[in-house]
Amino acid sequence: MAAQALARAVTRLLEGVCTLLWGFPPRLIAPTVIQLGTWSALSWFLGNMPRYERTLARFGPVRTHLLCVAISLVNGCQYCTHGHARALELAYLREHERLFPLDELDFARLCGLGSAAIRHDLVHATQRAGLPGEVRYLDRTLTLVGAVRPGATDEDDLRIIHLVRMLGVLNSVGIRHRPAPDEAHSPLNRDHLLKRRYSALRAGYG
């Protein structure tokens, strides 16, 4: 009974932090606490989220979420793919005032395909989006996802390796527990004007 109460308390705590950041409690939190165990889940989040936030600040939201999408697609996690794809689309719209070439149906179709097919479509979309400089980051990320013992060559590699490992854990939870997709895993999810603009453009009203 005490263990269950503690698990619920930690779940509410982590959901509360995400709600402050993103405006909603992610459906992946509860199954992550179940799969990792209460204290391990809390320690994992405390160890990984600050480092993720530093990467987000360094890479920017478009690159960070693009790489998270690539990792989640290769690993076959629909939940994380959806959350980071929506974050990518919102970030891209905010920065470039137009839609990213792929939408959520395109990303869902790619999820779990071979890395070659994923690379082809993501690189093509990234180039169409006017982001050719991101291709080398995509290539490096896809290489590191498949590496047994990934080795870093510079600080950017260390950041990508951390994303690969962090998303590997979250993807495993998403694949095992299959929570329904929710909202964008980004503070931009709190920008309701941006979200309405995005929805209008996707509907053809923008």
Q: Give dist(CA 33, CA 161) in Å, integer.
A: 23
Is 61-202 a CATH 1.10.3470 domain?
Answer: no
Q: How many CB atoms sit inside 10 A of residue 45's CB?
A: 20
Listed by start position, the domains of the chain span 61-202
Mutual angle of helices 155-177 and 29-36, in 10-degree steps: 90
Quick check: 73 and 112 in contact, CB under 8 A?
yes
φ, ψ of residue 99 to 5 degrees: the values are: -85, 145
On whether the pTM is more than 0.85, the answer is yes
Q: Locate tokens 């998403």: which residue?
A: 174
Cβ(197)–Cβ(206) under 8 Å? yes
pLDDT in tens, 40-89: 999 999 999 999 999 999 999 999 999 999 999 999 999 999 999 999 99
